[in-house]
Structure 1
Amino acid sequence: MGIEFSPEISDLLGRVRRRPNAGWPWRPGEAVPAGLTVKQSWGWLFAPDGRVLTLVNPRDGVVSLPGGSLEPEDAGDPGSALAREAGEEAQAVIGPAVYLGYLYDRVGSANGGHECARVRMAAALHGVGPSVPDPASGRHYRRLLVAPGLAVELLGWGPTGLRQARAAVGTAVARWGVPALALETIEELPRGGCALR
């Protein structure tokens, strides 16, 4: 059986644009070294059926996981940053985030040319509110639930992304009891929001 999706999602996926892989080394399970700035926190957010929340910007087709830069109100906590960003970008309601590891950005493209860490986390996705534009960018993201392996493909993250996804799935299976093999159905979450149980 192949991947299932609606004609509308087929049209959306036909316009997906993948970012070039930056080649940042993945440091699974390692704490961020003292003195290395944590610049970003992105999350693998798991629905109870094992699929993850993936965002598509309909303006340019760029796919992303929820997350973004740490702000002063996050007090240096990547979990707080993820919860805030997921709420702003996707109106997502999540459980406590679990640290997976970080990507080492030697060039520091998100940090004024200074090396930094880009943290990856996992969390349970409890639901989403009504869809509204991201207050920081004005982007109105389309919210898709997809299997983690397909998310890697849509993100264009290659082998490093696949290793991240495996770490995230292992955490989600152990912590929240999601199935190790997610449904192969791509589903857009309703604009009016929904709970996920």
Structure 2
Amino acid sequence: MGRIEYSVEIADLLGRVRRRPPAGWPWRPGEPVPPGLTVKQSWGWLFAPDGRVLTLVNPRDGIVSLPGGSLEPEDEGDPGAALAREAGEEAQAVIGRPHYLGYLYDRVGSANGGHECARVRMAAALRAVGPTVPDPASGRHYRRLLVAPGLAVELLGWGPAGLRQARTAVAVAVEHLGVPAAANEAIEELPVLGGPVFPFGG
């Protein structure tokens, strides 16, 4: 693998990244969520045409995340609708049609009042981003980075289980979005003023 390229500003940001401990939720690739198991959250691998994915960095605490979050009443139980809404709120992102990847089984239900739940993962084309603004729900003002999926797993701190999830996402993106299996390795921050990313396909 060649040298990963990024700017001095990104180097400073990455130097402050703090990884969360892995949660240990089992990954169920391609399996539908069983009837009766609540879908509590939906998060997305959002792909640029060169195979990189959108990651969000909170500069206050260094925590890295994928776009996504909890389903709200306006989503009407649709994880794809929740992902599109959350991507817009957190990253000012416009996405293509989401493709279901599988779910993480949360037996403890830390996001569901102590009751077991499913945390869905999806893949979609990152079509465009608008001017960056704070998330209206949390007030967090994220930095928006495009990185290769494997590096995203490293920044997220997800370990081997995260790599398995990333491989599922890449396989679906190659098939349905036409992205390359080997992503561009450069790390790029999306412009503060936004712009198109993946205007066609997906």
One-letter code aligned to 1:81: A
Q: Which runs of 5+ in 1 are unaligned?
A: none
Hey, what does 1:119 align to over in structure 2? Answer: 120
Hey, what does 2:47 align to over in structure 1? Answer: 46
Count of matched residue positions in the alignment of Structure 1 and Structure 2: 197
| Structure 1 residue 21, shift from structure 2 partner | 0.2
- For residues 23-65 of structure 1, the C-alpha deviation after alignment (integer angstroms, 9 at most, x for no partner) is 0000000000111000000000000110000000011000000
| Structure 1 residue 115, shift from structure 2 partner | 0.4
One-letter code aligned to 2:155: L
- Equivalent-residue separation in structure 2 for 1:150 and 1:71 (angstroms): 30
TM-score, with structure 2 as normaliser: 0.97
The question of 1:136 aligning with 2:164 is answered: no
Hey, what does 2:171 align to over in structure 1? Answer: 170
TM-score, with structure 1 as normaliser: 0.99
Identity of aligned pairs, percent? 83
Hey, what does 1:104 align to over in structure 2? Answer: 105
One-letter code aligned to 1:32: V
Aligned partner of residue 113 in structure 1, secondary structure: coil
Hey, what does 1:189 align to over in structure 2? Answer: 190
- Equivalent-residue separation in structure 2 for 1:186 and 1:80 (angstroms): 28
The question of 1:156 aligning with 2:145 is answered: no
Q: Which runs of 5+ in 2 are unaligned?
A: none
| Structure 1 residue 143, shift from structure 2 partner | 0.1
Runs of 4+ aligned structure 1 residues displaced above 6 Å come to none
Hey, what does 1:94 align to over in structure 2? Answer: 95
**Equivalent runs, 1:68-79 vs 2, <5 Å:** 68-79=69-80
- Equivalent-residue separation in structure 2 for 1:96 and 1:165 (angstroms): 18
